[in-house]
Structure 1
Amino acid sequence: MGGLRGSVLADHRSGFWKLERQQTFKEPGDAGWQAFADGRWEDSLRILDGRRPEFEGYYRRIADNGFATRRVQQLPGDVRGFVNRVEELRALNRLLTDGHRSADVTLSVITGTAGVGKTSLALRWAHSVRNRFPDGQLYANLRGYDPGPPAQPEQILDRFLRALGVPPAAVPADLDDRAALYRSRLAGRRVLVVLDNAATARQVRPLLPGTDRCLVVVTSRNMLSRLATRDGGRRLTLRMLSEQDAVTLLRDITSAYRSGDDPDELTELARLCARLPLALRFAAERAASRPFMPLGQLIQDLRDESALWDRSPRRRTRSPTQYARSSPGPTGP
């Protein structure tokens, strides 16, 4: 940050600490002190303007130069080679508008089996509507089905609060206090929150804003029924790709590296991958990395690996479908 905004912030910090030393803000519980500590520049500047005439105009200068509201943009990159899902994208669009009026849905839960493309859909849609959320986008992988321990709400709230401008020292230690401050920071703002790879409703609920101006999109292998019944979430269940779309995805990924693959063999490979996008991507990347290997040979190798997985108690290798069911990532759960 530079120029006028940087100088205004420096002035504000200097002015704030000057007033604090002069006991204009009596103690940490003072409203002005807390607003500054929370990063709520608008509120703290209003208090400055009202208490000391020499700081008149700070609020106006900050607000006019766009510093009053910090815009977060945490979305991962959009997914390449995205295929179809037209109806699902339309269903998500209806979260924002229902006919000619604004919809009142503030929570969507995208569910489906591992590797079916929940994250891909969520990110593709989030990127397409990000301009509808002028105050930014928050993103977190909750690691609900990752090999390690799942992310805890306290951890995610700490990251979100820092991203929203709360100084580390001002982040409360208690979960309920963090959630309350998070809701306060989002009040009056229009922010899109993407919570990826959730395992339980308990993991998600503290991360829900308290305002109907925000929208939360959750992805999970679990149905998360309590979010639908208790929190008004609208569920969208993904199915495997159609055979045609699965073959199209294989072609999109491999076309720059190999040509002349037999359509029947591409269809066979799509079936071997159970038409799961993550498994299809895994198989397509392998085919692309072996441009001179006949596709039939690659299919046989994958069948052998699948059989080895089924027979081996240690499960040393993974077939494409097993890979899809066990690997996290942008195209996965």
Structure 2
Amino acid sequence: MNKIVGFLKFSDYDFEIGEPTHFQQLIEGNIFFQKISFFENNGTQAQKDIEVSTDFNKFIANEARTEVELYERYGLVKYTIPSIVALKYISGITVKKVHLSINSNIKMVLKEKNKNYINDVVKNSDYDVIVYPDEFILKSDNIYERYVENGRVKFKILKDYGFANSKITFLGNDNHATWRIASFIQVTDENVEINGKLKIDFLNKILDISSPKGSIAVNESGELRPWVYIPKEILFRKQNYIEKMGGGSVCYYTKNKYPFSINSFTANPNCLLLAKDVNYKNQFEFRLITGGPNETFKNEFSPLLNLGWRKSEIGYGTKIEELQNLNMSLI
């Protein structure tokens, strides 16, 4: 595994009245932790309708199933389909698990692949995450079960559904979740030349505005954003802050290759914020995370934290040439 040597953080010249610019504050060691909506509104839909891996399918398959009986043209029909599983995280960390039965207009749910029902759950739920079956598949048809009604023997049709895959949706928003994120570009020894400068290939990737998700190093006008470089030991020097935070390197994954297991996912809600589609891979992102998916995770951290570095301990600049000439071995 490649060793992290430091972090790049790009900023801007915005400021609040009477305050230094964001870039000046960053040079002085002040990091602003954004609400999660900032990342969603700026293209990072990593927490929305993620198609996950096989162990999530097994997780749903082993949970309770919804049974609904309807009188139809040819008699009584009994539908059996997998339930939606809703998770509520409680700081500590424990997880409350609830089965949401799909019993309202089940035929529409099957037809719409759960979409409308999921939307209703998202609007009305107090849960943090739902894991749900997608693309229902009829496993058995033309199977009958005998029953007695008003002294007469009758038969009901059994329709048992499985599913092709499963998805997870994060239900939190800024009114519900207390998460805040500070985002960096992590630099590993693989990205650094022997002379201590950043490799051209690495620079080209982080500056590439033609990549599917654009570049976080370049602003909307196509100009390089001002930047700082923080050596790893300097960022993590303030251990009393860092140890209370969550975070880590973001994992980039392709379809059906979600990087976290169901056990990791239920044990640590921050996994939701550390997995992103492979289209974001040129961001080389590292995240520090405060708070959590709901109010029980509130902590003492303010949105603006000083992580204690001095100007002499970091590199910083405003031009591409300065970034190209940055010598990390001298910092």
Answer yes or no: same fold by TM over 0.5.
Answer: no
Whose relative contact order is higher, 1 or 2, with alpha carbons under 8 Å and at least 6 apart? 2
Name the TM-score class by shorter chain. under 0.3
Query: Which of the pair is proportionally richer in helix?
Result: 1
* TM-score (normalizing by structure 1): 0.22
Query: Which of the pair is proportionally richer in strand?
Result: 2
